[in-house]
Structure 1
Amino acid sequence: MPAPEPSPPQSSPSAAASHSGAYVLAEAAARARDIRAATGGRPLVARVPPLPTPPPADAPAAEARAAGGALDRILRGPSGLGTVSLRPARCEGASAPVEAPEAPAAPAAPAEGSPVPGLYHHPVPEPDPVRVAEVGRRIKSWALDEVELYPEDWEDQFDGFSVGRYMVACHPDAPTVDHLMLATRLMVAENAVDDCYCEDHGGSPIGLGGRLLLAHTALDPLHTTKEYQPRWAESLHSDAPRRAYRSAMEYFHGAASPSQADRFRHDMARLHLGYLAEAAWAQTDHVPEVWEYLAMRQFNNFRPCPTITDTVGGYELPADLHAGPAMQRVIALAGNATTIVNDLYSYTKELDSPGRHLNLPVVIAEREGIADRDAYMKAIDVHNELMHDFEAEAAALAAACPVPSVWRFLRGVAVWVDGNHYWHRTNTYRYSLPDFW
């Protein structure tokens, strides 16, 4: 099924007028040109043509629409004659499992929830309800029967997480439900570690480093002597987070290349480092400066999720293209923006929880001495700037690097960003907005 056309972005209250999608992409190209000029014109990617010069600000509207439309098509991914071979899961002889045709899905009812007013975002179509239901069924079976992830009294919370809707919204190009399950298991395992080691369900900053280190060996195996290897292997089954990590990573290895698996392990190490920084601040009752908090959030964030978008899509972005500075900046900005989305939607939930939870509005209010409402509004501005920078850098990289896997990966990351916002907005079981409007 061809991917749907992207919906028009939502403008913030400070915008003078709403913008079309084409205008936004053309504007992103112009912002990218400014960034390149500010950095001395250094190329974003080696050995590729320079970024085409976008139309001047006073160019006719038709020219601006054409420039924006070209970038739109690039970010949407290659299509048309001759591009079937770029979608490996649909090629003859592809290794992806073949699924029986899915029954036509009834149109999904519009989901609940209101977006944060003024938050820059892009609406997404309602995710396929057939896939949502099947992912929900499979992940619950995995959690209960394979890894014994949670006791019966946590079932409502597990169901309320709505992970099936989350993953289908974030990965609409996944060729099969099996591909979707790769991301879904990892997402649930990551949340089990966060809840059980760090937060809601018995987590504590005390001793967190040791717990995370041992859990990380379920992702990055221990290579030790014959005498001690069995004790380590046995430890992988000793608690729910380690069981979940071990099993989810085993499934992931079955579909990912060695390079894709190693990149994921690297990003999980980043995530665990962010957990440790936040835990250290909690132990010393330290409220970081705003820039320090944002540095922590670049590590304690959603980055491992969009970084696997190609594995879930059934293709591979080559390692050197993924590791390039321009691509790493795009992925980092995407992770940072989506994590601030979490801060904004979970704000009231965290205020109602025991203890002090650091999130961007709380840190801004305390460190800059402003009212809670003003701090929340400023956090929205931070998110919006990150989003605009993400789109500018993605547009620049797409124009500068005419490689189909790069285009598809950039589009996948952008879709993940939109799907992440959709899930936060619609998950009224977990989140509600503050009374600031």
Structure 2
Amino acid sequence: MPDPGPSPLQPSLPAAAARFGAHSHGHGIEAVGCVRPALFAPPAQPSAPVTTPSPALERILRGPSGLGATGLSLARREEPPAPEAEPPVAGRPIPGLYFHPVPEPDPVRVEELSHRIKAWAVDEVELYPPEWEDQFDGFSVGRYMVACHPDAPTVDHLMLATRLMVAENVVDDCYCEDHGGSPVGLGGRLLLAHTALDPLHTTTEYQPEWAESLHSDAPRRAYRSAMEYFAQEATASQADRFRHDMARLHLGYLAEAAWAETDYVPEVWEYLSMRQFNNFRPCPTITDTVGGYELPADLHAQPAMQRVIALAGNATTIVNDLYSYTKELAGPGRHLNLPVVIAEREGCSVRDAYLKAVEVHNDLMHAFEAAAADLAAACPVPSVLRFLRGVAAWVDGNHYWHQTNTYRYSLPDFW
């Protein structure tokens, strides 16, 4: 797919590698020297030395400058930068949480995207009954996606992410949580819904029944339509990458459901393992498709890039645990989130557990930024650098949306 932005695609890879002095033998990306496995070992192990980048490369790594560009920088950031001259945003950030402010999203784009996504939800896929309209509006998905994808060239590109975001939330609500969801029988429902993303290949006799099933409920209608739009713009490898990440997501849903059925409170490390799958990963991993370019499949699959994406997904999902804490406490039954699990398993007060969960988030954020900076230095290919900046922007936009969505979220009285 053509790249409307400044980042060359695959043909630039060998030249870029040669320009930065990579010399190694083998096949694929390792052959051009973009991978240094020692850089991505567990934190306790020393990293291999990294060649000092040239002034030109340093400019690339710094990313764009100017209003609103903070979230796109790949440099390690020790403290949140001071907000620029912007009107104050709604909502109160969690005290002590490590994050980076972003400017208010472009209101023109927000309005257009909000109008178009609601038309899709109501007219194309009949996503919700009239009594759910206030909840759809309160989700503010247009503002969310504009904040998370500042490099999207058009509203059409933003719609790719927005349809998928809405579809994922409908599946979560209707199959797992608020609107009729249940852990009982969840595996069967998720598997059938997943065939709307990853089509069934079967006999002529049974194909029509499967095709008809894709219109049988709101989650499957949303998945089918959103994926159809996405596949029209994405490359084959980008579409397959997304399907893989959605399978990860569904596996996380099933683990949480299994614990709910057996009334099991996991150990903290077990909970964090589940959250690495039941998390936002499918959203930042499509940042190149939404940006109108492609991170080549072999670069995306590198362990170093996978670590960056996983840490981004983990950090953004703990943000959700923290901001949705009071909302979940007010719901029926026991809802697992990181503060609840820490309090139960480590025997501390709910306040201390919440504050420790903030520390866990901050550790994940620092690890994400360190891993991204190491990868940018080790593999300074333009598409890699742009993708890393896109993931960082998604992380910052995700926090912005949680902080400012006072319709959905309020903070506990722990300070």
- Please indicate the TM-score interval, normalised by the length of the shorter structure: 0.7 to 0.9
Instruction: Give the one of 302, 306, 326 matched to 1:324.
Output: 302
Give CA-to-partner distance per residue, 1:14-70, whole Å, 9 cap, x none: xxxxxxxxxxxxxxxxxx97968954656xxxxxxx62369xxxxxxxxxxx99x96
Distance of aligned partners of 1:422 and 1:70 in 2 relative to their CA distance in 1, 3 Å threshold: farther
Q: Which amino acid aligns with 2:282?
A: P
Among candidates 206, 213, 217, match of residue 239 of structure 1 = 217
Q: Are the counterparts in 1 of residues 40 and 304 from structure 2 also a CA contact under 8 Å?
A: no
Look up the match of 2:79. Answer: none
Superposed CA RMSD? 2.4
**How much has 1:76 moved relative to structure 2?**
1.9
What is the match of residue 260 of structure 1?
A: 238
- Aligned position for 2:314: 336
In the alignment, the residues of structure 2 paired with residue 147 and residue 139 of structure 1 have an alpha-carbon distance, to the nearest angstrom, of 11
What amino acid is the match of 2:186? L
Match of 1:248 in 2: 226
Distance in 2, Cα, partners of 1:214 & 1:182: 22
TM-score, normalization by structure 1: 0.79
Residue correspondence of structure 1 range 25-424 to structure 2 within 5 A:
38-39=44-45, 41=47, 51-52=50-51, 73-74=60-61, 76=63, 110-424=88-402
In structure 1, what residue type is equivalent to 2:51?
A: P
C-alpha distance in structure 1 between counterparts of 2:42 and 2:57, whole Å: 20
1:412–1:293: structure 2 CA closer, same or farther, 3 Å change rule? same
C-alpha separation in 2, matches of 1:308 and 1:409: 9
CA contact (8 A) 1:77 1:404 kept: no
Q: Retained in 2: the 8 A contact 1:169–1:419?
A: yes
Equivalents in 2 of 1:278, 1:365: separation in Å?
18
**Given the superposition, is the C-alpha separation of residues 399 and 354 from structure 1 closer, same or farther in structure 2, using an over 3 Å criterion?**
same
Q: What do the CA deviations read for 1:183-241 (whole angstroms, capped 9, x no partner)?
A: 00000000000000000000000000000000000000000000000000000000000
Q: Answer yes or no: is the 8 Å Cα contact 2:86–2:103 preserved in 1.
A: no
Query: Offset at 1:375?
Result: 0.2
- Listed as ranges, the gaps of 5+ residues in structure 1 are 4-31, 43-49, 55-65, 80-106
Cross-structure match for 2:411: 433
When residues 38 and 406 of structure 1 are mapped into structure 2, their CA distance, relative to the original with a 3 A threshold, is same
Distance 2:180 2:143 in 1: 27
Indicate conservation of the 8 Å contact 1:346/1:432, yes or no.
yes
Secondary structure (helix, strand or coil) at the match of 2:377 reads: helix
Please state whether the residue corresponding to 1:206 is helix, strand or coil: coil
1:78 is displaced (CA, Å) by 11
Name the aligned partner's letter for residue 281 of structure 1.
W
Deviation at 1:73, TM superposition (A): 4.0
The question of whether the paired residues in 2 share the 8 Å contact of 1:75 and 1:398 is answered with no
Counting aligned pairs with the same residue, the percent is 80
Q: Distance in 1 between matches of 2:88 and 2:222?
A: 32
Residues 156, 36 of structure 1: CA spacing in aligned structure 2 closer, same or farther, 3 A cutoff? closer
Contact 1:78 1:408 in 2 (8 A): no
Q: Which residue identity lines up with residue 51 of structure 1 in the other structure? A: V
Describe the superposition over 1:330-364 as per-residue Cα deviations: whole angstroms up to 9, x where unpaired: 00000000000000000000000011100000000
How many Å apart are 1:74 and its aligned residue?
Answer: 1.2
**1:180 deviation in Å?**
0.1
Contact 2:40–2:47 (8 Å) recurs in 1: no
1:406 corresponds to which letter in structure 2? V
